[in-house]
Structure 1
């Protein structure tokens, strides 16, 4: 029986769940060092054809090094890298069926848009007529056919980004590598471009590999995300699984906002576990079978948007905390309440601002109750 997906899925596409599926890109026990620094540490990874895959992590985690090894700009100290069944060892960058799009775009300022897109095709010796057809096809694809004669300085940042994308796609590589491609765009344009890239990748049926430190970017565009730390992959999963079911405190804390409470496991009955959080002074019941022994230290993780905040005391003291509003962040669409509990521990709750007028808005120093459902959080053992 196929695994039921968590959260929304963009398409009926999950070759990683098929044991018979052959990976399109594969890293096998790859290690890369720079002097004494281990950038990538005995890493193995499988990416499938037509997948939009994201490598996500902070600076120095090894994600860009992985992309550069796939492109041929760096050589592994150990391990093997395969693309479509071919071992890439010894294959120079210009002979690899991949293309890379950089954050800087690297457009030629003295060339027109169409000349920039055509540059790589001319270098390959493609016939002039075919170059014209391919350039026209690519500019139409990125909706820049009316800007063909312009120079890069006559374009907006978003348009230059699309020129760089068209040039990267013109040679029709098997894999497109995207190195922080949207970092130079403003927030609104970046959000629009994320959806454009997703739609384009699906339309072309190509394999995209993006490197980013922006979790929202990875969550929006990728079919799967590999969260990296210190040269290793900590978790690989779909965006919804990464967010809803992190496998460690590192992943839970790295992706989005999270409340983490150190607890003791007090009871287990089937798929229900009971915890006690001594610092917060509360008992927690969760619909999850926890792989730990009674008395072990575990951590309860819950997202702020899953925490209810109210003046009214809940019927049960289980999954409930009393606190005092310490700080409020009004973001327009939502308000984030920072509530101090015992020992000045803080629990965050996010409330959607569904109307302009509220009879009694919560304010600083108000005493409130926080509560949540038994299936709202997750228990982490590491």
Structure 2
């Protein structure tokens, strides 16, 4: 059976009409003076879900997190956690914990004392604290570093201490605000998978705020893409990438080529889009767009092939000139300037060490793609 990309795991309560959301934002608005940070936003998050709020700076994602944590109150609307309205409940009485990008570790305390701090504040018996701290150290693989101070640790180790301290109190929900922003690229990639494994092992609900698309795509079960305080799309990483619902989402997540035009004809099996230059693109279907509608055909760079000759079997083929080339090791990125002036980005996997059809700058080239390779966007 055909599907959009690979299946992540057998967990999709959002597809169950009888499943009740664990966290619910209901028509939430938050204003700071004349500025509206969150605008009449509604959103459902389910128990044990790894959920990501993704967007550019100023889109409202951190404000949502702070309202759930209790550091801000909504101007209007409700926030519910496990059916309870959180309005008026102070942060320290909410069953949530927040981990900040700065980690906020106590520099004069050892690793184990940092982890134990919140448990002591709650008055947990000493023996229970020692047992819980030992569990947390084992969980984040920091047992040999228990007596060290934060300045004696690497960035990744400090991040794990902050994480252990955040989950030591067993909150119902863990809020993570740009949790990996301070790490270098390689360590960030490693830690993403560690966070996913940790969330699975603990069975907690994780809500992460990030501006890093790759981070959200790697870790989250679902992603909410925000812009100017509003939700643009909520979907799984695969759906967000392969089936965006608007030009904004398609442009925001990953790289994309947009062919603007009109639906020239459409039936049950195929449709045609005619661009301003007269070039035609044949696609599987135009969705709900009727003939004559202004649309964009969005296609990802890896779905496009580049060759020196027109492929004989290609339904869609457009000619141009190689404008730029970037060799990235695992793939080569081509910028091809079509004869109508549009520059198209195509990325081809370097599956072999030697290329059969090498192209260089200023070469004439053809781009080609399948009718089912992209998606029609009406907004």
1:214 to 209, 212, 223: 212
Partner of 1:314: 311
**Equivalence for 2:368:** 371
Q: Give 1:135-146 correspondences, 5 Å limit.
A: 135-146=133-144
Residue aligning to 1:28: 26
**Are 2:287 and 1:295 equivalent residues in the alignment?**
no
Aligned-residue offset at 1:283: 1.1
Alignment of 1:104-253 (within 5 A): 104-253=102-251
Partner Cα separation in structure 1 for residue 209 and residue 7 of structure 2: 21
Alpha-carbon offset, residue 271 of structure 1: 3.8
**Are positions 1:7 and 2:14 aligned together?**
no
Aligned with 1:332 (options 329, 334, 339): 329
Cα deviation for residue 330 of structure 1 reads 1.0
Q: How far off its partner does 1:5 sit?
A: 5.8
Shift of 1:288: 2.2
**The residue matched to 2:101 in structure 1 has which SS?**
coil
Q: CA deviation at 1:190?
A: 0.3
Return the alpha-carbon distance in structure 1 between the equivalents of residues 20 and 356 of structure 2. 59
TM-score (norm 1): 0.97
Backbone CA RMSD of aligned residues: 1.3
Deviation at 1:11, TM superposition (A): 1.5
Inter-partner Cα distance in structure 1 for 2:212 and 2:321: 33
> Do the aligned partners of 1:270 and 1:289 also contact (CA within 8 Å) in 2?
no
SS in structure 2 at match of 1:344 = coil
Alpha-carbon offset, residue 359 of structure 1: 4.5
For residues 53 and 285 of structure 1, the distance between their equivalents in structure 2, rounded to whole angstroms, comes to: 36
> Number of residue pairs matched?
379
Runs of 4 or more, structure 1, over 3 Å off, are none
Q: Decide whether the 8 Å contact of 2:315 with 2:371 is kept in 1.
A: no
Assess, with a 3 A threshold, how the Cα gap between structure 1 residues 323 and 5 changes in structure 2: closer, same or farther: closer
Aligned partners of 2:295 and 2:212: how far apart in 1? 28
Distance 1:143 1:317, change over 3 A: closer
| Per-residue deviation, 1:113 | 0.1
How far the C-alpha of 1:305 sits from its partner, in A, is: 0.3
Residues 92-120 of structure 1, C-alpha deviations (whole Å, 9 max, x = no match): 00000000000000001110000000000
1:262 counterpart residue number: 260
Can you give the 5+ residue segments of structure 2 that lack an aligned partner in the other structure?
none
Residue equivalent to 1:353: 350
Identify which range, 214-223 or 315-324, moves more after superposition. Answer: 315-324
Of 262-271 and 231-240, more deviation after overlay is shown by 262-271
Give structure 1 stretches of 5+ with no counterpart: none
Q: 1:293 to 1:358 in 2, by over 3 A?
A: closer
In the aligned structure 2, how far is the partner of 1:46 from the partner of 1:14? Answer: 13
